[in-house]
Amino acid sequence: MLLNLKCPSNYFAQSPQPLRARTGRVGSTVYKESPLVQMNRHLRMSTLRRAGFVSLPVVALLHSALILFGATTARSVSATPAAKKQDHAKAVAQIRSVLQAQQDAWNRGDIDGFMNGYARSGSTIFISEDTVRRGWETVHERYREKYSDRAKMGNLTFSEIEVTPLSPDSAVVIGRWKLQRVKDRPHGLFTLIFKRLPEGWRIVLDHTSAAAPLQ
């Protein structure tokens, strides 16, 4: 027999309190019941039986099935924050790896290897010395001209790096840079915007500033 939904109040008792999602446990399974799942607790059993719709064992079976459904849903929902945290940790590790590769390339005198950390795009931006440079080739040429030999390059160190994911495909990074050279030790801060590209995480915007020379 089909349930007559023209008068649902005949079949569902009025709950004395507003229904809210709640959790429970069945054996080793933790479940979360939504208000819809809880409605079966308020069925008027005698009315349903008189209507010939279901018997008590059927309602009990329905109740168990709904709890199992709620438990499965709760597990899938609860897994989302954990997966998101894991993705963030993976992104942070990959971005740090790019910066480490840049530092290593610089310290062996490999400007081309250092530039692999930047997106090879005409939209890549580098800001420093009151100048905005656009395009990977332009940034590359700037590094080759300013650091034309190993003495000018010195030894590079990145420190105090903080990586903050903004989305699954973007992140902002702040940190300090320092060059140790024979005659001086220039240093400063940088802000980077990374984007996840098919080849991996790459810098799409670099804002680097230099501090006043140490006395």
Residue 90 and residue 70 share a domain: no
Q: Which of 81, 108, 126 is the last residue of a domain?
A: 81
- Which residue range is the domain that position 137 belongs to? 85-210
**In angstroms, rounded to a whole number, what is the distance separating the alpha carbons of residues 82 and 11?**
40
**In angstroms, rounded to a whole number, what is the distance separating the alpha carbons of residues 2 and 19?**
26
Q: Which of 81, 103, 126 is the last residue of a domain?
A: 81
* pLDDT per residue as tens, the chain (215 positions): 444 444 444 444 444 555 565 666 555 555 555 555 455 455 444 544 555 545 555 445 445 544 444 544 444 444 588 888 888 999 999 999 999 999 999 999 999 999 999 999 999 999 998 999 999 999 999 999 999 999 999 999 999 999 999 999 999 999 999 999 999 999 999 999 999 999 999 999 999 999 987 65
**In angstroms, rounded to a whole number, what is the distance separating the alpha carbons of residues 165 and 82?**
15
**How many domains, the chain?**
2
Instruction: Give the 3-state secondary structure of residue 201.
Output: strand
Query: Around 105, how many Cα atoms within 13 Å sit in the side-chain half-sphere?
Result: 14
Q: Which of 35, 60, 81 is the last residue of a domain?
A: 81
- Reported pTM: 0.64
